Structure 1
Amino acid sequence: MVDRDRDRDRDWDFHLRSLSSSSRDSNFASDPASDPSLLYSVKKLCELCKAEKSEDLVARVYPQFNKLFHRSVASILQSPSSFGLILLAILQFFLDFGEVVLHDADPSLRIFFRSCLSREFADPLVAEATVDFLNVNRKKLLTSFPTLLPQFFPLLLKLIAWNGEKLEKAFLKVFPGLMSPGSFLPLFPSLVDLPILVVALEKVERNSGPLIGSSIASIQKSTAPEMLLALMDEAYTGSTIGDGGGDSESEDSNTIDAVDPVFLDLLKDENDGLAERHWTSGMAAALQAAINTPQSDRLKQTLNMAPRLLDVYFATALRDVNDSLICALIPLLMSRNSKLFPDKIFSYEVRKRLLEFLLAAFQRFPHFIALLKKPIMDRLGEAYDSSAKTELALQLCWAIGEHGGGGGSHKDAARELFESLELLLYENLSSSRLGLSQESALSSDSATFRKSSQSRLLCFVVTAIAKLAYIPL
């Protein structure tokens, strides 16, 4: 027993001296992460504090850890070393013993996200350690710091998008913690656009060098317009800024200008509360160009992961989110149904989930149909613009008929929807007759698909009208 206590005291003194000498050593004072023994000493001191359960030991080590934390943060900009692992180890001490030493860990956690993780999310060791840290402390973070993960969900999505499926299982356990009243709506388009985020990050890496050690946020705020304009150029248009020659108003340049704000929005680190991204024709053209280039392994993994993240998002929404937020999500969902990264399998998997959630939401909250009659009517009016919009119109027609236009207490809304369906029926029949005269000009496959879509839509419209007819309007 005496020998064990003596060994413990010797270890304690050794690791404390290691921290103290590192702060005095001129080689390590301004770059503490370059000392290979420092991380080991921090972890051993944490283990000793937990094992001994001594407030005196905790109080003795806390000043050293606090100084080391701030010294490391101050060195991040000037040092090429990675500080993620050592800062995470100190943060674990702050969370475990914060009450003992009266340390509020919230500012320290936010400093870590802003100053360190924003520069080191692409480091596989730091990324894995961060996800493990969030999992170990999940309950404490959600109860004591409930706004932390929702605030930094864009940064955490960059982490998982860049590091891929090897972290997916662990990340999915953390993922519900990213959802809060303030992050629920803006999180949706970020998940749908996860593949675009990967392409944007890969482009930044090609233009600016390795992502580790550089803050994407600082690139966004750069005063050099060349960086902003070149952000997605090669990946999305197959050209460079110089391709326009002396004509600054070239088509390529206009396309880049049009889509640039969307890409920069994807690269942000913190949630700004904006839920909708305004896509343009230039954005659609740029995305179409993206699939003509070979897909990286990272992009392929993200195309697989994004639908699974949406599964958790929608399941959590139906279980935990209040109905007003779900109601606000539905117009966003309908808008994005036809605006997806144009990979066929990805689009199918995502669109399938969007429509399933739409129907599940209407099943649970049928009065949403009355509340959302205007965006629903708008989508019905777009039924022939594309196959994706046709499929959405089919599901909306089914929901209108199944739930009586929102129920008996919403007769005015049901009457307006009834009239919209009548108009859609008339347009369907008119376009079908027009299609017969034009069919010879179309390929057989195109004509068959068009006739099939119109027939299905006609069936759903007639069925919905028949069901609404039983409701006294």
Structure 2
Amino acid sequence: MDNVGTIIERARAISHEELQEFYRGLQEALKSQSIADVIPSLRQLWLSLACTRYRGDVPPDLLMPLWEAVKEPHLGPVMVRMLCAAVLQEFSPCQSVCLRGGELSSGPLSSSSLALTLPVVAGVGHYHPDLQVLREQLLAWLTGAGQVDTAAITHVLGCLWGMDNSEVITLTQEQVDGVSKQLCTWLTTTSTTQPPNPFSKNIFSSRQLVAVTEVDETPSHDMFTVLSVGQHYSPDQFLNMQVFSMMRGWLHKHQSKNGESASMALLVDKMCEYCLRLLDQCERKAVVQQDAELQQACLTEVILLLDTMCQQNSSLIPRVFPSIKRVYNRIQNSPASSINIINILQFLLHHSDAVMYDMGPALQHFFLKILDKQCIDQSLAFEATLFCLENMENLCNNTSVLRKFFPCLLKVFAWQPKTLLAEFVDLLPTMVSEETAIEVLHCLLDLPVITAAMETVMRVEQRGSLTVTDLSPEAVAQSTPELVYSDPLHRPLFNFILRAEGGLGDTIDRLKVLHDILQDYSTLPRVVVCSQAAPVLLRVYLQTVEQEASVDLLARLFPVLLERSCLLFPIKTFQTEVKRVLSEALVWVVQTAPGLLIDNRQEVQELMSSPRNFTGREDVFLHLAWAVGEYMSVTYDRRCTPDIISQYYEGVECLLYELSVSQLGRTETPLQHRARLTAVLMTALAKLATRCQDLMPRVLLCLTKITQQLPASGSQDPGDAVLLARAPVLINLCRMPNVAPLLSSLPAETDDNSKLHQDQNSSSCLLLQLTQAVMKQSQQ
């Protein structure tokens, strides 16, 4: 292997100039020597084409002798022609390397010639200059008798199938019917005996024909299928396997527009019989492990094929459904058959209504017993996500599984956040409803916690269970997550965060304890990636709620936004981004339902009671302070009495005084954005005072003190200059009680025929200066 690696590295290191020199030397050698004499050079040419990016620089004159050797048997032995064909396939597509129409119709070609030429022609694809002529010849070989042998038919069928999938040519209905008739023949007339060893040189070996066997080594005398086992296979048996492998694509493309033809109907009937035979063979216990794996692969293809045929011909459903149900009952508890269970669920979703079958228990079994236990399996996670995404409308309209088992699906995402982010952006809105919205929000905010908890469980399962006594809070802080998980006192925390079914509760009281337990895992790559992807899903969630939420949901959502803004998994970038998203959500929640500030005034006032609450959630605090000043008005809610305004005013005033005093005394307060917070609080204070005239003297006194204290503090903060400019504006505004409420409030929503002037570009300072000038002129 080391020598092979060295050879490949040497081939990759060759320069473009060296390759061109090699091409010229080989071209000259081919002019004076036969193909068989330059085999080492041809091998080097193939290696160069396979290992470098200079494929398009090969001279066409160098390729033509190779193509002639592939077509003409007398130009070299089979091994040399195979090497030439391999070189041409590496160079494809190339229009100069093609079978022309005259060459195809000049006479029948042997199977060995077709085996070499057709793969090269298939590589040319739609670049072939005589594509229609080639198609006609391939169809003639397939539907004709005696022109080519069975071994060559496999290459002809493969080439035609590749051209049919390219969408460059279109088969007519007559041609489709002709090919379908042949496919049906090759499915049903395949021999069930094993051919003699084609490589044996013993002329006295037994010529007795032996039947192929089943996977459990019992003799098989029924129809031949891909699960029939033999030591050697005849050409018609290989053709049978090839027809089965291409059947789903053939029916999918041609059945819908040609379903009424007799040939297609016969093909579908025989294919259905073939698939039911395969289902019976899949129930046998394989002796060899490779045969067991082949059974699983065949079962997957059979279920998909039967689903395709039943969608196109509903009369097959009563014939097929009992067999599918029997297969499901047999494999529903087999971990190795998880992918096939998804395929069966897909079949049931499509056809359960036709036979009045309740598939609710099957879906519940899949999410609770299969996906929840194997959510770290990458292939199962991808297939399950794709299943939910493709059947999203059906699952939402006819079932409640997406809203009921969303914790299980979010566990799938938490384990593979980078791979499945795009799919879950589309899938997440289907999980949100009036009943599940709050629980979904908690799960999204806890996605990194879920990932860390899954890491813990996986490591415990790999190392084996640990036996521990109950851990004290001090011991928990010093223990590994695996050890804490094995503690019966803390196991319920993991069980809840890793639940598979919703409706068991929104969150847990000891969430901070779980954060402390899993903090050691906050730097794991998978946890970090999940923390980066979680805000994306959080924005999708909030957009969904914003479009469809009721006032009742917003009333339940508002306190959760306040609570969870200070209760997030300790990853700095994750906390910063999530708090920014939550602060933006607070704005539109209050804009939609301003009365929430009255209903939750105790929580809001408690949050705004101290500058300490500002640290760590600056965006949330600032947006909330702005909302209080903007929407605490009778314009938005008739319950906004002067007493409630006074309560909010006193809280904001105390906070502003505390903030100014701490800066004047130069105490160590861990605050950032001090000027921004002070400006927001000053503005909120002025707006509250304009709506309650009794507060005007107090706000004037407060703002005056602020303007006097800022210069005395000696602070060099550039934001102080902004505050010194803002305070006089607010003071002048409050000195005009008749105009202040209009200038300090956003314009309320009015009818379209309202004559109220609204100018979003107006400045309060300009309006005040204009008003002052008008008042002076009136006094004169």
Tell me the TM-score normalized by structure 1.
Answer: 0.80
Counterpart AA for 1:40: E
Does structure 1 retain, via aligned residues, the 8 Å contact 2:579–2:617?
A: no
C-alpha distance in 2, partners of 1:207/1:263?
12
C-alpha distance in 1, partners of 2:585/2:440?
16
Tell me the residue number matched to 1:379: 607
Counterpart AA for 2:541: Y
Of residues 344, 347, 352, the one that matches 1:93 is 347
Does structure 1 retain, via aligned residues, the 8 Å contact 2:583–2:620?
A: yes
Of residues 672, 678, 688, the one that matches 1:458 is 678
Cα deviation code 1:125-158 (max 9, x no counterpart): 111111111111111111111x211110110000
Counterpart AA for 1:97: H
Q: Cα 1:206–1:144, aligned 2, differ >3 Å: closer, same or farther?
A: same
Of residues 136, 155, 161, the one that matches 2:390 is 136
Of residues 277, 291, 301, the one that matches 1:40 is 301
Matched, 1:328 2:556: yes
Tell me the residue number matched to 1:65: 324
Tell me the residue number matched to 2:503: 272
Q: Cα 1:357–1:162, aligned 2, differ >3 Å: closer, same or farther?
A: same
**Further displaced range: 381-390 or 265-274:** 381-390
> What does residue range 10-409 of structure 1 map to in structure 2 within 5 Å?
10-23=270-283, 25=285, 35-36=295-296, 37-51=298-312, 53-55=313-315, 57-73=316-332, 75-76=333-334, 81-145=335-399, 147-209=400-462, 226=468, 237=478, 239=480, 261-279=492-510, 282-283=513-514, 285-286=516-517, 288-291=519-522, 294-296=523-525, 298-389=526-617, 391-405=619-633, 407-409=636-638
C-alpha distance in 1, partners of 2:554/2:424?
24
Tell me the residue number matched to 2:640: 411
C-alpha distance in 2, partners of 1:193/1:404?
32
- SS of the counterpart of 1:278? coil
C-alpha distance in 2, partners of 1:133/1:362?
38
Q: Cα 1:471–1:126, aligned 2, differ >3 Å: closer, same or farther?
A: same
C-alpha distance in 2, partners of 1:63/1:172?
37
- Unaligned stretches of 5+ residues in structure 2: 1-176, 182-262, 694-780
* Structure with the greater alpha carbon radius of gyration: 2
Q: Cα 1:155–1:304, aligned 2, differ >3 Å: closer, same or farther?
A: same
CA drift of 1:229 comes to 7.3
C-alpha distance in 2, partners of 1:368/1:188?
19
- SS of the counterpart of 1:35? helix
C-alpha distance in 2, partners of 1:263/1:333?
23
Counterpart AA for 2:368: R
CA drift of 1:385 comes to 3.6
Tell me the residue number matched to 2:130: none
Does structure 2 retain, via aligned residues, the 8 Å contact 1:33–1:72?
A: no
CA drift of 1:58 comes to 1.0
Tell me the residue number matched to 2:87: none
Tell me the TM-score normalized by structure 2.
Answer: 0.50
**Further displaced range: 339-348 or 416-425:** 416-425
Cα deviation code 1:139-198 (max 9, x no counterpart): 1111111x2111101100000111222221122211111112221111111101100111
Cα deviation code 1:272-309 (max 9, x no counterpart): 24223324664454455544xx422x222211210000
Does structure 2 retain, via aligned residues, the 8 Å contact 1:154–1:270?
A: yes
Tell me the residue number matched to 1:248: none
CA drift of 1:96 comes to 0.9
Tell me the residue number matched to 1:214: none
Counterpart AA for 2:688: L
- SS of the counterpart of 1:311? helix
Counterpart AA for 2:404: Q
CA drift of 1:435 comes to 5.6
Does structure 2 retain, via aligned residues, the 8 Å contact 1:370–1:405?
A: no
C-alpha distance in 1, partners of 2:616/2:609?
13
- SS of the counterpart of 2:321? helix
CA drift of 1:241 comes to 7.8
**Further displaced range: 136-145 or 268-277:** 268-277
- SS of the counterpart of 1:388? coil
Higher helix share: 1
Does structure 1 retain, via aligned residues, the 8 Å contact 2:272–2:306?
A: yes
Q: Cα 1:173–1:241, aligned 2, differ >3 Å: closer, same or farther?
A: closer
Counterpart AA for 2:452: V
C-alpha distance in 2, partners of 1:205/1:227?
21
**Further displaced range: 379-388 or 344-353:** 379-388
Does structure 2 retain, via aligned residues, the 8 Å contact 1:110–1:148?
A: yes
Does structure 2 retain, via aligned residues, the 8 Å contact 1:425–1:458?
A: no
Number of positions where the alignment pairs a residue of Structure 1 with one of Structure 2: 427
Does structure 2 retain, via aligned residues, the 8 Å contact 1:150–1:179?
A: yes
**Further displaced range: 282-291 or 3-12:** 282-291
Matched, 1:471 2:691: yes
Q: Cα 1:423–1:326, aligned 2, differ >3 Å: closer, same or farther?
A: closer
CA drift of 1:257 comes to 8.1
Coordinate RMSD, CA, aligned: 3.4
